[in-house]
Amino acid sequence: MKKATIVCVAFLMVLNVTTVSASTNVKSYKNCTELRKDYKGGVAQSSSVKNKGGKTKYKPHVSKDLYNANKKLDRDKDLIACEK
């Protein structure tokens, strides 16, 4: 019983470290010019969101964590930051 408890605790610790390190690896950009250097079409929260502004030149990169880190750059609040 003691071994099983130790294994469970170790597993939960590894799982927690993995999730924390994955979510802290997201870059926050200061403006859309900087973001578009890495993502030409901007960043969408999910693949199902639609652009309010009409047709865009590039398809946005889909990443919920990256969008949330740069939500301030989504001026029209259509869940796509810095679309072009």
The band of 23, judged by pLDDT with boundaries at 50, 70 and 90, is: low
Is 60 part of a structural domain of the chain? yes
Query: Domain count of the chain?
Result: 1
Contact (CB, 8 A) for 47 and 62? yes
Is 61 part of a structural domain of the chain? yes
What is the average per-residue pLDDT within 8-21?
60
Is 1 part of a structural domain of the chain? no
- Which DSSP string corresponds to 31-71? SHHHHHHH-TT-EESSTT---TT---SSPPEE-HHHHHHTG
Is 40 part of a structural domain of the chain? yes
pLDDT in tens, 71-84: 999 999 999 999 98
Is 10 part of a structural domain of the chain? no
Is 34 part of a structural domain of the chain? yes
Q: Which helix (H) or strand (E) holds 15?
A: helix 2-23
Is 17 part of a structural domain of the chain? no
Domain that holds residue 67: 26-81
Can you give the pTM of this predicted structure?
Answer: 0.69
* pLDDT at position 56: 86
pLDDT in tens, 55-71: 888 999 999 999 999 99
